[in-house]
Amino acid sequence: MALLDIKNMRVEFPGRHGVFTSVNDVSLYVNEGEILGLVGESGAGKSTIGNAVMGLLQAPGRMSEGEVRLNGERIDQLSEIDMRSIRGKRIGMIFQDPMTSLNPIETIEFQLVETILAHLDVSMSEARKRAVELLEQVGIPEASVRIKQYPHQFSGGMRQRVVIALALCVEPELIIADEPTTALDVTIQAQILQLIKDMCKSRKLGVILVTHDMGVIAETADRVAVMYRGRLIELGDTSQIMNAPKEAYTQSLIAAVPPSNKKIDRFPKVAIAESDGSALQDFDLQSHWLGRGSAYETSSGSLLEVRSLRKQFLIKGAIRPSNRKYLDAIKDISFDVKAGETFGLVGESGSGKSTVARVITGIYPATGGEMEFDGHDLINTKNAKEKQQVRQDIQMVFQDPYSSLNGRMKIGAIVAEPMFVNKLAENGKERREIVADLLELVGLGKDAARKYPHEFSGGQRQRISIARALATRPRFLICDEPTSALDVSIQAQILNLLKDLQDQLKLTLLFISHDLPVIRQMCDRVGVMRFGDLVEVSETEALFEHPQHSYTQTLIGRMPRFAK
Amino acid sequence: MDMVKRAFESDLFWSFRHSPVAIISFVVAVTLILAAVFAPLLAPYNPFDPGSLNLMNGFSQPMVPNALTGDSFLMGADDQGRDVFSTILYGMRISLFVGFAAVIFALVIGIILGLTSAYAGGRVEAIIMRIADVQLTFPSILVAMLVFGIAKGFTPVHLRDQMAIWVLIVSIGLSDWVQFARVVRGAALVEKKKEYVEAAILIGRGPLGIVFRHILPNVLSPVLVIATISLALAIIAEATLSFLGVGAPPTEPSLGTLIRIGQGYLFSGEWWILFFPAMTLLMLALSVNLLGDWLRDALNPKLDD
């Protein structure tokens, strides 16, 4: 008998625009000591399944059909009070953000002991002993000391370990882990996944691992369920799904994952969720506005030279300069970007890679060092006109597609604004024509100009963001994690688009990402950043095959392998 | 046409249609505002024209023909023989005009100072916000009375009655700008950190363009909520000032002035002189306030899902 058995589950959310079916006729099961990976893109309904099992559907959502059995006993019709004795006791949960599952004003010990006492019939001292043992088991060093600390005194990875200990402390039969490593860096992610795997095997737990990341699934799960728009598309062993997927959707989903072991030219077959209507083929650059001006002369030397760049942030102000405290976001880094190449910057969160982008564009002033762009001094130029000229040449595509577009402006106005501000077009009519061409170029179609940003998905918004950046006819495009907020199939489309645009418009790219496989697909040369230092710069292939610096070796060693 | 269609399909309109409180208060508020706007057409008498008054009509009861003149008044007449219904209609005009104008005055000052302090930061922000903090330590009615008193000192005697309305607007507006400035500053600080502002810097927009074209439209919804609630407060503030005798003059009475006149007769049997203006003020302030409450809930992004 399966540990958890879900039959014909259907979850509906009645709303203003009719009833939305979030999960549609899904049947699956989890055995003891098994990890079931639940994978799908955003909106596939994978988290909803977990919430429905726990009885945690947000009103007005409801499970309208089907049944859920835990060890043969139906739990979907239990009252809220009966459900409470199952939730946390027999089914544990691990969420994406460890901060939301820990109480910030209580110590770890208090939270663990409280949970143990609530569910198990043990004495206070036993509960304490048990709590320390658990922390040791999930790999927290000096557990007896650290248990007295508060959540904010733990790092992100350690906090997630505490959450796992919290989920395990009452010996549940099943654990639902909802994107447990999405908020963590790659080196920590590998450790947490290993921990979940070990706990599953040693304690005979059933685990449902909900994630959007195929790499995580490939490394961790025994079986995989692929979801798409509320439906279960395919269910099978991990090796079968990864290597020989039967359904077309699964095939294209796997094709869209950037391989970590080799560089491919383009991502094949990626038009699953949205059409990929790029109009690049029939676009004559020479005769078009985008090709005019001095912008696209190809030179062979370095386009951008960065020498001993430093950036400090004031973190504690004081009247006396000696009392002020600074954070060194960038400590003395130097690199060149050659014309026409894609230079990658990779690093974990807090390594200063986004700060580099903002110093180059001038959003943040540099603290020290030199930067030269195509012969123009970027730091000491006082001439406002020259400064604006250089600024036009350097544009940026931002990380968050939701905050990078002004929600109160129509797309047409957003894309036209750079031309309007810099007087790049003769009149309003020409501006509108160029906007239409740019929107066609990024694959949206000219009708998009009349709509507002909220009418578009994340991937489409990122296309708009690219169109806006192109509207100053830039030579240098900085992409700051342009796909980290996107689903994998959309990511493949955007990466394809960036490659195509680079070929057509002879752009130079600075590509910033924490995602090593994506870096491998996009970049010619890569710089690895850590704590504000540039530890290694090398050709992409050489970096991945023969990393020199020990930190680079660790990073590449911990990267989720997804070989095809 | 497109705009109208969008408005009817919007989430805001949907939430409006599903809130009986909002619909009722909207109907009440709009009826009162329309009645005030069309007062010259609706009112049976012109209370501001001394020639039309007949002292013999003084203290006429509501709906009962006067024993001396035979005139009948819907809501009775006051001590001077003025029709209470007509004075309410005309008085509401003054109350609403002062209320709207004072809110707009406070709104413009608040938005400009709030945006300036959020965008400029540093010393400018510190100075503006400290002034706001200091002003918050005084009750707003006290600030309004102070401004009113000073302004009165500077106006020539023969202009005082004419200037009274404008002095009222300025004094209520000046006592009210702080909350606008605070809310705008708070919202603008959040918006300022968003990537679209960085994008605007990159394409070469100057500070004014960024503040007014990009940040301002994104901070307007909370401002709209406060403006509605402030309108009710401004109407009440105006009534309070007039009640205390430092507002609208008795020759051109606002609702507050009418209540002040009426309170002298409450216990001598002529209740209607006080009762009807007071009820009108209550309905006006309550309906506008409830609309503001609904708007605050409807525009709260947390209630979206």
pLDDT exceeds cutoff 70 at A562: no
Shared domain for A220 and A294, answered yes or no, is: no
Q: Which of A231, A255, A279 is the last residue of a domain?
A: A255
Please name the residue that has the structure tokens 């501006």: A431
Shared domain for A225 and A310, answered yes or no, is: no
Higher per-residue pLDDT: A298 or B194: B194
**Å from B203 to nearest chain A CA?**
5
A406·B217 Cβ contact <8 A? yes
pLDDT tens per residue across span B168-185: 898 889 888 999 999 999
Residues A218 and A215: their CA atoms lie apart, in Å, by 5
Strands of the A4-15 sheet, one edge to the other: A18-30, A4-15, A62-70, A73-74
Which pLDDT belongs to residue A137? 84
Shared domain for A219 and A314, answered yes or no, is: no
* Chain B partners within 8 Å of A422 (Cβ): 203-204
**Å from B123 to nearest chain A CA?**
13
> Looking at the complex, does the CB of residue B299 fall below 8 Å from at least one CB of chain A?
no
Q: Which of A208, A230, A255 is the last residue of a domain?
A: A255
Shared domain for A171 and A311, answered yes or no, is: no
Residue spans of the domains in chain B: they are 2-40+74-303
For residues A293-299, give the mean pLDDT. Answer: 52
Which pLDDT belongs to residue B56? 75
From the list B204, B214, B305, which residue is nearest A406 (CB)?
B214
pLDDT exceeds cutoff 60 at A380: yes
Which pLDDT belongs to residue A286? 60
A467 Cα distance to chain centroid: 22
Q: Nearest chain A Cα to B219, which residue? A: A408
Which H helix or E strand runs over A432? Answer: helix A428-441
Classify B2-40+74-303 by CATH class.
Answer: mainly alpha
CB A347 within 8 A of CB A543: no
Residues A222 and A216: their CA atoms lie apart, in Å, by 12
Which pLDDT belongs to residue A284? 62
pLDDT tens per residue across span B68-120: 777 777 887 877 778 888 889 998 999 999 999 999 999 999 999 999 999 98
Shared domain for A31 and A75, answered yes or no, is: yes
Burial class (CB in 10 A: 0-12, 13-18, 19+), A451: middle
Shared domain for A58 and A135, answered yes or no, is: yes
DSSP string, A434-471: HHHHHHHHTTS-GGGGGS-GGGS-HHHHHHHHHHHHHT
A398·B199 Cβ contact <8 A? yes
From the list A391, A395, A398, which residue is nearest B195 (CB)?
A398
Measured at the alpha carbon of residue A146, what is the angle toward residues A143 and A150, in degrees to the nearest 5? 140
Residue A504 CB neighbour total at 10 angstroms: 16
Q: Nearest chain A Cα to B214, which residue? A: A406
Burial class (CB in 10 A: 0-12, 13-18, 19+), B76: buried
Q: Nearest chain B Cα to A401, which residue? A: B195
pLDDT exceeds cutoff 80 at A293: no
Residue A140 lies in a domain: yes
Which pLDDT belongs to residue A203? 86
Shared domain for A250 and A293, answered yes or no, is: no
Shared domain for A232 and A293, answered yes or no, is: no
Shared domain for A225 and A359, answered yes or no, is: no
* Chain A partners within 8 Å of B214 (Cβ): 406
Residue A426 lies in a domain: no
* Chain B partners within 8 Å of A471 (Cβ): 203
Please name the residue that has the structure tokens 């002062």: B98
For residues A351-365, give the mean pLDDT. Answer: 89
For residues A224-246, give the mean pLDDT. Answer: 90
For residues A193-219, give the mean pLDDT. Answer: 89
> Looking at the complex, does the CB of residue B15 fall below 8 Å from at least one CB of chain A?
no
* Chain A partners within 8 Å of B187 (Cβ): none
CB A399 within 8 A of CB A494: no
For residues B208-235, give the mean pLDDT. Answer: 90
CB B99 within 8 A of CB B236: no
For residues A519-536, give the mean pLDDT. Answer: 91
pLDDT tens per residue across span A298-348: 556 788 889 889 998 887 777 888 888 888 888 889 999 998 899 999 988
CB A477 within 8 A of CB A507: yes
Domain count, chain A: 2
Residue A411 lies in a domain: no
Q: Dihedrals φ, ψ of A368, to 5°? A: -165, 170
Q: For chain B, count helices (H), then strands (E).
A: 13, 0
What are the tokens at A356?
A: 């580099």
Shared domain for A209 and A325, answered yes or no, is: no
Which pLDDT belongs to residue B191? 92
Q: For chain A, count helices (H), then strands (E).
A: 20, 20
A395·B198 Cβ contact <8 A? no
Q: Kindly state the percentage of chain A with pLDDT values over 70.
A: 94
Shared domain for A247 and A310, answered yes or no, is: no
pLDDT exceeds cutoff 80 at A248: yes
Residue A264 lies in a domain: no
Burial class (CB in 10 A: 0-12, 13-18, 19+), B187: buried
Q: What is the CATH number of the domain that holds A310?
A: 3.40.50.300
pLDDT exceeds cutoff 90 at B241: no
Higher per-residue pLDDT: A169 or A300: A169
B200-203: long-range contacts, CB 8 A cutoff, minimum separation 24: B200/A406, B200/A417, B201/A362, B201/A363, B202/A361, B202/A362, B202/A363, B202/A391, B202/A394, B202/A395, B202/A396, B203/A392, B203/A395, B203/A417, B203/A418, B203/A421, B203/A422, B203/A468, B203/A471, B203/A472
From the list A394, A406, A469, which residue is nearest B196 (CB)?
A406
* Chain A partners within 8 Å of B11 (Cβ): 16
From the list B196, B201, B305, which residue is nearest A363 (CB)?
B201
pLDDT tens per residue across span A147-162: 999 988 888 788 888 9
> Looking at the complex, does the CB of residue B217 fall below 8 Å from at least one CB of chain A?
yes
* Chain A partners within 8 Å of B204 (Cβ): 388, 391-392, 418, 421-422, 472
Residues A239 and A176: their CA atoms lie apart, in Å, by 22
Which pLDDT belongs to residue B304? 44
Q: Nearest chain B Cα to A470, which residue? A: B203
A404·B196 Cβ contact <8 A? yes
Q: Which domain holds residue A501?
A: 289-406+473-558
Q: Nearest chain A Cα to B217, which residue? A: A408
Size of interface A-B (CB pairs under 8 A): 62
Which pLDDT belongs to residue B305? 37
DSSP string, A135-160: HHHTT-TTHHHHTTS-GGGS-HHHHH
From the list B195, B201, B204, which residue is nearest A422 (CB)?
B204
pLDDT tens per residue across span A181-196: 887 777 778 888 888 8
The whole-model pTM stands at 0.81
pLDDT exceeds cutoff 80 at A100: no
Which residues of A make CB contacts under 8 Å with B?
Answer: 16, 58, 358, 361-363, 388, 391-392, 394-396, 398-400, 403-409, 417-418, 421-422, 465, 468-469, 471-472
Higher per-residue pLDDT: A560 or B189: B189
- Tell me the longest C-alpha to C-alpha distance in chain B: 80
Higher per-residue pLDDT: B3 or A269: B3
**Å from B303 to nearest chain A CA?**
12
What are the tokens at A506?
A: 């002879």
From the list A395, A407, A468, which residue is nearest B218 (CB)?
A407
Residue A305 lies in a domain: yes
Q: Nearest chain B Cα to A417, which residue? A: B203
* Chain A partners within 8 Å of B14 (Cβ): 16
B204·A407 Cβ contact <8 A? no
B214·A418 Cβ contact <8 A? no
Angle (deg, nearest 10), helices B272-298 and B20-37: 130
pLDDT tens per residue across span B254-305: 888 888 888 888 788 788 888 898 999 999 999 999 998 888 888 765 444 3
Which range among A11-20, A139-148, B187-196 shows the weakest confidence by mean pLDDT? A11-20
For residues A456-482, give the mean pLDDT. Answer: 90
Average pLDDT score over chain A: 85
**Alpha-carbon separation of residue B65 from A223, A400, A486, B61, B273 (angstroms):** 91, 73, 78, 8, 16
Shared domain for A307 and A247, answered yes or no, is: no
pLDDT tens per residue across span B126-165: 999 999 999 888 887 888 888 888 887 888 877 777 778 8
Closest CA to B62 of B48, B78, B46: B78
